Structure formats: C-alpha cells, structure tokens
Amino acid sequence: MDLISNLLAVSGPATENSITDEVRFFGLGAMLLYPIIFNKFINKNERIPTQFIILISGLVIVPIFGKTPLQASDQFVHITHLISLNLILFSSGLETKFSSIRSILRYGIILSTIGVAISTVILGSLFYVAVSDKFLGLNNGILGDLPLSVCMLIGASLSSTDASASISILNRLRVKLPEKVLQIIKFESSINDPAAVIIYGMVTSWIFHDAHLAGKISIANEITGNLNLRAITDNFVGLFSTGSLVGAIFGYLSIWMLKNLNLRKQQLLSAGLAIVSINYAVSNFLGGSGLISAFIAGMVLSNLHKSEEVTIIQNLKESIEPFEELAEIFIYCSFAARVDPDSLFRVLPWGLMCAFIMMVIARPLSIFVFQPFSRLRWKEASLLGWCGFKGAVTLALSFEMVEIISKTNFFDSSVTTSTAQDIQSIIFITAITNLLVQSLSMPAIARWTSQSEEAKTLEAVD
C-alpha cells in the first residue's frame, strides 16, 4: 500500500488515515477531467488558460484532502518533476526548426540567458526592497525578515516563461503578427527554462553559503568557494557548453537508434523516454545542464535526420505529445494540491505586489534592454514583454524552494514551515495573476501591435 500511497500523492498532500485509496483515485480523476469539461462548456474560446483553471483547483482540493503541503512523497514528486521537465524540453526541441530560428538566434539566446538573469535580479531586488525592514518594510512581519538571497530565489523561480499559452491565444486571434515575434516567443521559452534552472541553482548555492556562515548548517568547503564572479561565470558557461555538446551527441545517436532498431510505433514513447533519461544522467554527470541537453538532443534529432527518416521522427513527436501534456498537467496538479488556502489569503497583498513587479517592471525591462539587438519595433517588443506566462518550470522550482528553505533554517524553527508555505503561496498568487491578467489583455495588445504592422505595409505600398 506504500507504493499506492506514493503514486497517488499527486492528488492531494494529505496523509490522514481517513483518506482512502478510493478517494484519492477519485480526486485524481476529477482533477484531470474537470479542466476538459470546463473548457468545453464554460471556457469555450479558451480565453482563460487551462493552467489557470488547474491551479485554482487547489482551493478546492486542499480543503477536501487536508492541508499538510510539506508532507507526502516529496522525493517522488521531485523525480517526477525532473522527468516531466526533461520531456517537455525534449519535445520543444523536436518542434524547433533551424530554418525558423536562424534570423533570431543571437537575440533569442541573449534574451533567454542574460535576460533571465536581469529579470531575476530586478524582481528579487525590488521585492526585497518592498518587504525588508531596512527599506519599505511592507510585510508587517508576516513574512519574517526575508534575506536578499531568498528574494532572489523567488525571482529565479519566476524568470522562465511558457510559450504554449501565449501561442495558443495569439493563434486564435484574427490579426496578422510578424512571424519573427512568434518564433522568438517559442525559442525564448525553450532556452530560458534551463537558464532559469541554472540561475536558480546558483542562488541556491548562495543561500546555503549564507546559512553556513550563519551557523545554521554545515556544508562542504568547495561550496563556499563557488560564489565569486569567476566561478559563477565558469559554472554558467560549463553547464551550457557541456549540456549542448552532450545533447548534440545524443541527438545523433538517437537518429542512428531510431533508424537501425526498426522500432514499432508502440515502442517510440519508451524510446523517447529512454533517450531523455540517459541523456539527462550523462549530461549532469559530466557537469552539464541536463535540461539544456534535452532541448538540444530534440532539436538535433528533428533537424539533422535524412528525408527517409521523416516518418519515424513524426511518429516520435506524435507518441510523445500526449505524454508531454500529461507531464505538464502533473506539475500543475501537484503544485495546486500543495496550496494552503489560509496562507493564500494571508499573503495575498504581497503576491499581488510580486505579480505587479514581475509583469510591469522586471519582464518588460529584460526585453527592452536588448531591443537594439533585435529587429523588433517597440510595439512588437511590448507584445513580447507581455508574453511572459509562468509555466511548469516555475511551479517545479517553487516546490523545490520549500524544501531548500526548510533545510537551511533561515527562520525560527517554529515558523520555518509556515514561512516556506507563505513564499510558495506568493509564487502561486503571482502565477495565477499573471495567467489571468495577461491572457485577458493579450488580445488587445496583439491587435494594437498588428495595427502598426498594417500601417507599415500601407506605407510601403504608397
């Protein structure tokens, strides 16, 4: 029964004996089914992203199944998150064509790496200024004395974007948008996910370093020496370069495997999962980023095959697609099931403040600072700045954050659990505010952008 309990922990964080396996099965099934029914009968045009609908379910699921969000199979959820993220990025690589990104490659890479770092710094710094007693002190003691490193960790969690919701909304609009804008949105989302994970890891090292200096924890000496600028730069470059190299090698090996093993269509999903898992393990073992490696492997596999191999690559995409969608849903459901409604109401003002800083200041500035390097007009850059939906990576990193805060003992033991949950609730509020506000306002911004494009076309004709 322990295995059953672990597998069904995704449907709710409760561990009470009164929650039976039958109830857990029913809860999991209802959580997966209700977004489909909601979109069919209420959200017919899908103006509200499905991700928002799933996250809101936490307000219902937790009171039913209990609210012990820091318990129940954390290690199981952690491993499943890693598998899901690798599969999502591998699938993104399969959908990326060299020909479509060649013209925006330099700008896309800058935006997806340095832009993520800038967004992290702006959001983390401004949020620290707002809640710190040394500055504005707006938290009134509810969040405790949040150190700058923890605020930066919040910024790193919220720095990546998810292109699926943006593209879905833009594709349904009857407006003409430049193809380069859509390609940048897709490419940025694919690359900034692993970039966000790397920056998140660096901030985590900072947090453990601070905790070590404060005597809260004992860590290995090599960790304390990895926070100078040279070490951070070398680490960043190493993770990207090694991850990219391993991904390219596995992409080539995957082409050979799919061609020579004569796999049946039913075996392609297993083959895809095997590629993703082994690729991640090898890349991390060699000091690279497994997530970047997954994306590169998928891109090489999709672009460097021969014409006679097109069918098997297409079959691989079709086999992985439903599993990828289920992986995303799992991350959203597992996050929603760990929400504490009491904490949400307690930190609502700070969650809304964080959302405002992210959407109105951090994200747009990280776009506009590199606008001269692009061929985008200001209106097109504005649309790109508004396409910053938070996705599965943000939620997965938020889950890891709770464990980090709990381990580092930054706060008094009596409030560590509640503070960790409050910070996760801030990210939850930020994510759902972002999904709701930007999804409802994006059509108007897209039409505003397309009008400038139409005016430019008319001027050229005249």
Mean pLDDT along residues 179-204 = 82
Which of 266 and 58 is assigned the larger pLDDT? 266
What backbone torsions phi and psi does residue 316 show, to the nearest 5 degrees? -65, -45
User: For the residues 301-306, what does the mean pLDDT come to?
Assistant: 74
pLDDT band at 360 (very low <50, low <70, confident <90, very high): very high
**Helices first, then strands: H and E counts in the chain:** 21, 0
Helix residue spans in 158-289 (DSSP H) = 163-172, 179-213, 221-224, 229-260, 268-285
Write down the domain spans for the chain.
2-461
Return the number of other C-beta atoms located less than 10 Å from residue 26's C-beta. 12
Would you place residue 69 in the very low, low, confident or very high pLDDT band (cuts 50, 70, 90)? very low
Least confident range from 33-47, 67-81, 191-205, 393-407: namely 67-81
Backbone dihedral angles phi then psi of residue 369, each to the nearest 5 degrees: -65, -25
Residue 242 pLDDT exceeds 50: yes
Chain segment 157-186, per-residue pLDDT in tens: 998 888 777 877 787 777 777 778 888 888
Any idea which of 152-161, 238-247, 378-387, 399-408 has the lowest mean pLDDT?
399-408
**CATH domain 2-461 topology:** Na+/H+ antiporter like fold (1.20.1530)
> What's the whole-number mean pLDDT along residues 120-131?
91
Residue 413 has pLDDT above 60, yes or no: yes
Alpha carbons 5 and 14: distance in angstroms, whole number: 10
- Which pLDDT value is given to residue 166? 80
What are 238's two structure tokens?
């190493």
Query: Would the pLDDT of 228 be above 70?
Result: no
Residue 460 in this model has a pLDDT that exceeds 50: no
**CA–CA gap between residue 173 and residue 170 (Å, rounded):** 5
Q: Which of 428, 373, 367 is nearest to 399 (CA)?
A: 428
Mean pLDDT across the chain: 77
pLDDT digits (tens, 9 = 90+) for 414-437: 667 777 888 888 998 999 999 899
Q: Which of 158-172, 206-220, 332-346 has the lowest mean pLDDT?
A: 206-220
Mean pLDDT over residues 262-275, rounded?
Answer: 84
* Spatial distance between the Cα atoms of 300 and 251, rounded to a whole number of angstroms: 5
pLDDT at residue 322 tops 50 = yes
Give the closest residue to 354 by CA, choosing from 143, 123, 132. 123
Query: What b/e sequence results for 331-362 when a residue is b if at least 16 CB atoms lie within 10 Å of its CB, and e otherwise?
Result: bbbbbbbbbbeebbebbeebbebbbebbbeeb
pLDDT tens for each residue of 436-448: 999 889 888 888 8
Q: Which of 281, 283, 277 is nearest to 245 (CA)?
A: 283
Q: Is the dihedral of CA 257, 258, 259, 262 positive or negative?
A: positive
Find the mean pLDDT for residues 76-81: 74
Phi, psi of 63 (to 5 degrees): -60, -30
pLDDT at residue 84, as a whole number: 80
Report, in angstroms and rounded to the nearest whole number, the Rg of the chain calculated over CA atoms.
22
- Number of C-beta neighbours around residue 267 at 10 A: 13
Residue with more model confidence, 8 or 365 = 365
What confidence score (pLDDT) does residue 68 get?
47
131 close to 139: Cβ distance less than 8 angstroms: yes
Report the candidate in 329, 304, 270, 436 with the shortest Cα–Cα distance to residue 88. Answer: 329
Contact 15/71 with Cβ under 8 angstroms? yes
First to last CA, the chain: 74
What pLDDT does residue 430 have? Answer: 93
| pLDDT value of residue 185 | 85
pLDDT of the residue at 376:
82
> How many residues are there in the chain?
462
Between 321 and 66, name the one with better pLDDT: 321
Q: Can you tell me the mean pLDDT for 148-165?
A: 86
**Rounded CA gap, 56 and 51, in Å?**
9
Work out the percent of the chain whose per-residue pLDDT is above 90. 10
d(CA 166, CA 111): 17
